Structure 1
Amino acid sequence: MAFRMDKLTVKGQEAVQAAHSLAEQAGHRQLAPLHLLKGLLSEPDGIPRAILEKIGVNLRQLESQIDGELQRLPSSSGSNMEIGPSRELMQVLEAAQKQADSMQDQFVSTEHLLLAVTKVDDAAKRLLEINGIQEADLLAAMQAVRGGHSVTDQNPEDKYQALEKYGKDLVDLARKGKIDPVI
């Protein structure tokens, strides 16, 4: 099965583009799952970050480990260097498509890509495992973040966590003593 890039959501395309730019800057000839993982985490308010935070992952530590692994990859220099996807990255993309299909989503979103990284044996998967990130935990956090929404268009991430994004948790603020008492 060949992966179709037009089946990615806008944020998914941005993550792949960020991964490509990262590989280009580092002089890597192949785009690996590590680049994709770094690209997925590059969006400060992105869904992958929210999912990983929900399961208690130390994101700074994970990003530092990703950077360390990326520095180990072979690099080359040249003005007209072609960067192609590695076999492992293609497997990740295909696994993400299968995940989206199994969830009856019409597009592959960033959370499908994150989940797919856990399915392909690569340095990125090993880093996730080292940090205690399991597929089942990701799935549970993914369902909580998505709130029952399915991916039916290319910009579903805007619909997730709408209350957290646009509302205030008054109970939490009251517990922290950050609101005036109500009389």
Structure 2
Amino acid sequence: GRLTDGQGRTVDFTNTVLIMTSNLPGDPLTLFKPEFVNRIDEIVRFRALTEGDLAHIVGIQLAGLRARLAERRIGLDITPAAEQLLAKEGFDPAFGARPLKRVIQRQIGDELAVLLLEGKVTDGQTVTVDAVDGEISIAA
């Protein structure tokens, strides 16, 4: 079909697939008008993230950081306690795991940048990230 906006611009949606996402919980019929739901061909529901999912996502995000550090031949060891703390702090029920990348950047990436600038971490070293008293700790 076609869609016209408030300014009179028309868009042709022939052979188009629209994907709409939402974090809304519950049944779509209770949240949307039946007229709208009837126009949707299929509704795919996703399950909530589990702790295992979060651990896997932490691993993916840390792989990117490890790759950047490998350019300077800097190794990165992360304890399971640190991974758990990052997963806990990087998860928000409303946003899922989206905040995780920022948490890793702020708590590990930014701190490593400071240590590099201060000369406390040099090329060829390995740094260890651990969780101590509920805080991320980085040791060279």
Same fold (TM > 0.5)? no
What TM-score, normalized by structure 1, do the two folds share? 0.25
Q: Which structure carries more helix by proportion? A: 1
Bigger Cα Rg: 2
If each structure's strand is expressed as a fraction of its own residues, which one has the higher value?
2
Q: Which has the higher contact order (CA 8 A, sep 6+)?
A: 1
TM-score when normalising by structure 2: 0.30
